[in-house]
Amino acid sequence: MKGLKIKRHWIWLFIAISSVATILILRNIPPGLFVKGMKTIRPLGFIGAICAVVLMWVADAMRIKVLARATSSHIGMLTALRIVWGGLLFSGITPFEFGGGAYQVIMMHSKGLNSARGTAIITVKALLAMMVLLILAPVVGHLYPGYLSHSAFKYVMVVTCTLMSGTTVVMLVSGIKPSIIIKLGCSILTLISRAHIIRPGTKDRFEIAWSNWAVKCHASFVTIFKKGNGLYMLLAIAFTVVFLLAQFSVAPLMLIGAGVKANVPELILLQVPLTVLLYFIPTPGSSGVAEGGFYAIFALYAPSSLIGILTLMWRFFTFYLGMIMGVISTVPVRAE
């Protein structure tokens, strides 16, 4: 798509990391156990998992439609789904998944929404998801304090809550008073430059980019959070909750399909800190960390013959399937 260029080495990096993660998972499954594990899988649970994925796509598309209405714009359901799938595709092949949001803004622009409105929709959509996850994260620690006794889980909880809290606060302050965030960011960059960590020219470029981001964030708030948009915001929050619940339901439904008993509420909540962490992973599509994280989660419930199989299937349903739909539904993108 015009305006969005993808570096070839990003694509190769995604393929390489995903391939290595897949090989490592498969190597942990002895051939005999792999066959045994496949025989225990029942279709009904996996049909449910696919239905959860479809619900996740639809809820995400409805978030886009509702927020578009908040900007006095209209986006059709099929177009919204194409925007969702394209976002999954370009998130998977760009560092920090930044290409997903960029593609979605460009796609909306091609459908008649100016860049300011498109940016507002994507910014607020991300903010709502982060705020819901931030509310859920402490619930995990409160309901399941036993996990906090494990140093690794406690470390992940602290890191994810800190990152998400910081990001949410920065976005909220930028939306209300961007000058505060601009001054803070420029002051930090000045200190880093004086410590000779970055060059003055690099500092200037970062300051411009930071200032532009804060201004766009403020414009997004002005566009979306205006008088008379209360109903649209409530609907956007509701669809965000449905989207996350559908996403977190895929793993429990897969375990049910494999005949494994699991504490479903516990399994859903355990996905919260990992999902938050994946927002900040620099590899394309969070490759490597996503597979490793869910391998550890499935290991809490499933026998050794199923852990690797469930991990790979979870990754396919929640990520690769959306990327495939993105390839089918988007126009070709010129590689550099």
Mind spelling out the 3-state secondary structure of 145-207?
HHHHHCHHHHHHHHHHHHHHHHHHHHHHHHHHCHHHHHHHHHHHHHHHHHCCCCCHHHHHHHH
Please state the rounded mean pLDDT for residues 320-330: 91
**pTM of structure:** 0.84
| pLDDT, tens digit, 9 for 90 and up, residues 68-112 | 999 889 999 999 999 999 999 998 888 877 788 888 999 898 888
Task: Enumerate residues 6+ apart whose C-beta is below 8 A from 97.
Answer: 91, 279, 284, 285, 286
Compute the residue count for the chain: 336
Q: Single out the residue of 29, 82, 89 nearest to residue 306, CA to CA.
A: 29
* Range from 35-39, 80-84, 188-192 carrying the lowest mean pLDDT: 35-39
Domain edges within the chain:
45-329
Instruction: Supply the pLDDT for residue 35.
Output: 66
Distances (CA, A) of 309 to 24, 43, 85, 92, 246: 12, 14, 25, 21, 21
Q: Structure tokens of 102?
A: 């960029």
More confident residue, 305 or 186: 186
Please state the rounded mean pLDDT for residues 301-309: 86
| pLDDT, tens digit, 9 for 90 and up, residues 242-297 | 999 999 999 999 998 888 888 888 898 889 888 888 888 888 888 888 999 999 99
Task: Name the phi and psi angles at 225, rounded to 5.
Answer: -90, 65
